[in-house]
Each structure stands twice: as C-alpha cells, then as structure tokens.
Amino acid sequence: MLKECPQTNFHAPAALKKWPSKNNERVKDAVWPIPYSVLDGTLDECITKFLEQPLGQRHLYEIHTAPQGELIPAVISAELVVEIARLRDFL
C-alpha cells in the first residue's frame, strides 16, 4: 500500500500522454501536434507505466494531473516524473 506524503496523493486521477514522434524525436508538423493519451488512471499507475517505457523514449512522455502543492504541477515532465518516482519509492 502506498504511503501518502502530505502534499502528494498518488491515487489522484492522471493521464500519461505521449507526443507524436518520428525517429525518437517530437514531430513538430504532425497533423495533431498535441500529446495523445496512453493511459488514464491514477498518478501511481501513470508513473509506473512511464517507468516501463524505454529510457531513450521517455522524453516523449508527460503526465497530466491536478496540481498538488509545490511538488506536483498540472503537467509533469519526464525529468520530474523520475524524481517523483524516487520520492514515491522512498515513502
């Protein structure tokens, strides 16, 4: 069972999204140049799914959720997801 940090609810609704890509780079001239949903679930589930992605492709992903205090913004970048995962695993 996940422990809760005072400002972090890992059970909050979240969506893992991926940017359209080609050759492991974001496609800037895509028909729909916005990230598409890969998983709708909890913040915990999205972090877990993100960590399952190949290391070289993680920069194409981000997590969308409701902001939580100073630590969790509405859009969580790949770099921040890794840091939040470390916090989650520490708790």
pTM as predicted: 0.86
DSSP element (H, E) containing 89: helix 78-90
Q: Where are the domains of the chain?
A: 13-90
Give 12-71 pLDDT, tens digit per residue.
999 999 999 988 888 878 787 889 999 999 999 999 999 999 999 999 999 999 999 888
Question: Would you say how long the chain is, in residues?
Answer: 91
> The tokens of 37 are what?
């949903």
pLDDT band at 6 (very low <50, low <70, confident <90, very high): low
- Please indicate whether residue 5 or residue 68 has the higher confidence score (pLDDT): 68
Distance CA 16, CA 1 (A): 21
Q: How many other CB atoms are there within 10 angstroms of residue 84's CB atom? A: 19
DSSP element (H, E) containing 23: none
Q: According to the model, what pLDDT value does residue 29 have?
A: 80
* Nearest CA among 25, 15, 24 for reference residue 65: 15
